[in-house]
Amino acid sequence: MALMDIRAWEISCTDASAESRDFRESIFSQGNGYMGVRGFRPDAHGLHPAHRSTFYAGFFEYIRPGITDMVNQPDTMYTELLIDGADADALTILDYRQSLSLRDGLLTWHYTLLDGRGRRMRVEIERLIDMADLHTAALRYTICPLDSETVVTLRTGIDGSVENLPISDNQMQDDTAFLRLLRVEQAQAGCDGGYLLATTRTSRRASVACYRVMDDRRAKRQGHRDGNRAYTQLEVSLPVGAAWRVEKTIAVACYRDGDDPYALATSRLRDCTGFDAMHTRSAAAWEALWAKADVQVEGNELWQGAVRYNIFQLIQSTPRTDEHASIGARGLMHGRYKGCYFWDTEVFMLPLFLYTMPEVAKNLLLYRYHTLEDAKESARRFSVGGARYPWMASDTGFEQCETWDTGCCEVHITADIAYAMGRYVEVTGDTDFLFRYAAEVYVETARYWQERFNYCVEDGQYHLLFVKGPDEYCGVTTNDFFTVYLARHNLLLALDAVQRLRREAPERFAALVKKTGLTDAEMAIWKRMTEHMVLHQDERTKVWQQDDTFARLEPVDVAAYKDSDEPLYCKLSFDRLQRLQVLKQPAVLMCMAMFPEAFSYEEIDAAWRYYEPKTLHDSTLSFGIHALIAARLDRQEEAIRYFEKAVLLDLRDVMRNTGREGVHLAALGAAWQALVLGFGGVRVGAGGVVVQSHLPKTIDSLSFRLQANQKTYSAHVSANAAVQLRQQ
């Protein structure tokens, strides 16, 4: 693993080895929420085209009936560099340094090439994905021979021969079946630039890319089309010490942008005057984002840089202005999970946006509103009423998870979405959102729960059968605490919203009744259900039970099974794991993290003592939530230990899969929550904004901004629990 040097505003590394390549390509991924490009060096080849990926938010295609994959797009970074006719990728690399500026998103490579005759050539590459105009990107090469006059050839253009590697839901399966989802329809290149137009094979979804090249030495130029590739070749003879600069501006668009993506892409390209101009406008866009989302951590540069890296990745993976797409579990940086959206967005990543850019949180929630009709149809296919959101979603609201137990039974996602909408309304006070969108979602999802629970005549209780909780090692169980608690909350949200609508907006209430056919009778059932659900607490220990079977599972000494952070499912079968008294990730504690006011210190502490020693952290989502709870419990040592695992999860490759699987966005979101909501002690609810320091001894202070109730606050939390909270 390449060791990343983590600075307050920069991540860098000097390791150019083949072994660390995948890892570096994940860490140095760049994006702007519209597109995401892995951090590959543009002229480095050898990797399969499926690993050299570019993704566009919300761009999926069917790979079999009903199942989609996020489409790997034409490679606009395609470049080949030849030094006196020899492929530069085959030459020796010296003095390598690759760095990513968190401040403005610029990725750079600096290195020296050494050829077989001992001649050296200095190379600098800069890559930018524009944060201002989301359709554009740029690349710049600066090349300088150090020892003798050299003929340098640079080919750069667009490569449409990209492929997908659909990744199975089964983490133990080795995926090798590559698929070509795009067909190149047109490709052309001339002396100054070119374009490529492709469509997907089933739905004929269009993807367009175009580019322009400029150089400062009037190189000899020629356009080429070679199969699915269109490129411009530039050639110069460079005297010793003479630098040659070539820059390429790129614009892309697709079917999601409207009827004429070609016109859109070409007009955006015309508006780009060059690399520096794009860099300036993109840096200004980043500056505005950082003004809202930055967290300053005084006294610990490692934490500071890592926290900023987490925020940076979350921002660049989020389709901020698009209400028809969400954030994949690996963002736009990797095809793992077929690019699908999980509860990861609503529960782990959304809080950062909710508290710092509520308009972005709203768009993420609107994506769910726009897939409500599909979720209703999906519920019908599961032979129940209301709306059932998919455990894994893509551009529709239909289930994308192909594993039976998870896809059918991990149903808490439906209530997680309602929960996130509830938090959004509570924190922002946006009643228009509640009345216009959330109320309808609450009603339809409440209807789903009404039929998903089974009423038992013997005990007069509503039971939740055949359910999988967030701890996926629970098997398929009964009355999973987390799901029951969240479903009850969903019903309460529905009842409360209807009451408010009736009172505060009678016309909207009438419209809701007309649209949904809502009746008093069903609301009476929801109310009754909320009073008769099965949540068990041990009276003596105060521990809330995870489900009906957890106590009967085989107790184990976790340390005997697990001696590293590598997930245990790599060694033990799921069948065996689900009969052991171990957790993959928190479930009861997860619920307590989401509802901090609803449980006493004593209850949370009891849950910690009981569940934490049994938790394997086989999901990357686990560490940050444990850090958050530990911070709130003032268990400093544990909070620090868990926080470091979460905040450095990808940068230090804690799970040994960042290269293979991409950046784990939910884990990064959980780390943000641990820092701001845990160590910073922020709570926003009916009582307004409260900040209560749980600052660890490893840092001097924390400063950040927050938005709540349409007001902006700045908070400064320092040692000895001093808190300053100012409204701006």
Instruction: Write out the residues near ligand BGC by the rule CB under 6 A.
Output: 329, 342-344, 470, 472, 584-585, 619, 621, 666
Cα-based distances in Å from 168 to 49, 175, 400, 658: 19, 7, 11, 17
Q: Which C-beta is closer to ligand BGC: that of 181 or that of 625?
A: 625
Q: How far apart are CA 269 and CA 266, in angstroms?
A: 5
Detail the DSSP E strand segments found in 216-346.
220-226, 229-238, 244-254, 295-298
State the minimum distance, in angstroms, from the CB of residue 612 to ligand BGC.
Answer: 17
Backbone angles phi, psi at 158, to 5 degrees: -130, 135
Q: How far is the CB of 311 from ligand BGC (least distance, A)?
A: 19
For ligand BGC, which is the closer residue by CB, 54 or 400?
400
Please, is 195 exposed, middle or buried when counting C-beta atoms within 10 Å of its C-beta (0-12, 13-18, 19+)? buried
Contact 705, 720 (CB under 8 A): no
Would you say 119 or 330 has its CB closer to ligand BGC? 330
Q: How far is the CB of 666 from ligand BGC (least distance, A)?
A: 5
Taking the least distance from each CB to ligand BGC, the nearer of 119 and 338 is 338
- For ligand BGC, the closer CB: 408 or 513: 408
Torsion of CA 71, 72, 75, 77, to 10 degrees: 110
Helix, coil or strand: residue 450:
helix
Radius of gyration of the chain (CA): 26
Output the smallest distance, CB 401 to ligand BGC, in A.
Answer: 10
Nearer to ligand BGC, 152 or 580 (CB): 580
Give the pair of three-digit tokens for residue 228: 């699915």
| Structural tokens at position 325 | 């797409």
CB of 657 to ligand BGC, least distance (A): 11
Give the β-pairing of 10-13 and 5-6: antiparallel
For the CB of residue 410, give the shortest distance to ligand BGC in the complex, in Å.
Answer: 8
DSSP state of 726: E
Q: How far apart are CA 701 and CA 295, in angstroms?
A: 10
Q: Which is nearer to ligand BGC, 195 or 343 (CB)?
A: 343
The minimum distance between CB 376 and ligand BGC, in angstroms, equals 23
Segment holding 419, helix H or strand E? helix 412-428
Least distance from C-beta 629 to ligand BGC, angstroms?
Answer: 17
In the bound state with ligand BGC, the residue whose beta carbon lies nearer, of 160 and 659, is 659
Q: How far apart are CA 127 and CA 141, in angstroms?
A: 9
The three-state DSSP-derived secondary structure of 349-381 is HHHHHHHHCHHHHHHHHHHHHHCHHHHHHHHHH
Q: Least distance to ligand BGC from the beta carbon of 165, Å? A: 18
Closest to ligand BGC by CB, 155 or 336: 336
**C-alpha of 562 from chain center:** 28
Helical (H) or strand (E) element with 121 = strand 120-129
Give 195's strand partners.
188, 210
What are the CB-based long-range contacts (under 8 Å, 24+) for 276-279?
278/128, 278/130, 278/132, 278/133, 278/136, 278/138, 278/249, 279/104, 279/106, 279/128, 279/138
What is the rounded CA–CA span in Å between residue 411 and residue 392? 11
Nearer to ligand BGC (CB atom), residue 167 or residue 497 = 167
Q: Find the shortest distance in angstroms from Cβ 690 to ligand BGC.
A: 29
**Minimum gap (Å) between residue 547 Cβ and ligand BGC:** 16
Contact by Cβ (8 Å): 118, 148: no
Please answer whether residues 333 and 662 qualify as being in contact, where contact means their C-beta atoms are separated by less than 8 angstroms. Answer: yes
Helix (H, G, I), strand (E, B) or coil at 540: coil
Nearer of residues 130 and 471 to ligand BGC, judged by Cβ: 471
* Residue with Cβ nearer ligand BGC (444 or 472): 472
For 188, the enclosing helix (H) or strand (E) is: strand 182-189
> Residue type for 598, please?
A
Nearer to ligand BGC, 31 or 470 (CB): 470
User: Could you tell me the CA-to-CA distances from 355 to 14, 317, 572, 665, 682 in Å, in that order?
Assistant: 36, 17, 40, 17, 10
Q: Which is nearer to ligand BGC, 71 or 666 (CB)?
A: 666
- The nearest distance, CB 585 to ligand BGC, in angstroms, is 6
Min dist CB 360 to ligand BGC, Å, is 20
Residue 621 Cβ, how far from ligand BGC at the closest point, in Å? 5
- For the CB of residue 619, give the shortest distance to ligand BGC in the complex, in Å: 4
Q: Please state the closest distance from residue 336 (CB atom) to ligand BGC, in A.
A: 9
Structural element, H or E, at residue 128: strand 120-129
The phi and psi torsions of 608 (rounded to 5 degrees) equal -60, -50
Q: Of the two residues 181 and 621, which places its CB atom closer to ligand BGC in the complex?
A: 621
Going from the C-alpha of 529 to that of each of 409, 416, 442, 446, the distances in angstroms are: 20, 18, 15, 10
Which residues fall within 8 angstroms of residue 153, CB to CB, at 6 or more apart?
A: 80, 81, 82, 85, 233, 234, 235
Residue 128 near residue 137 (C-beta atoms within 8 A): yes
Closer Cβ to ligand BGC, 43 or 472, answer by number: 472
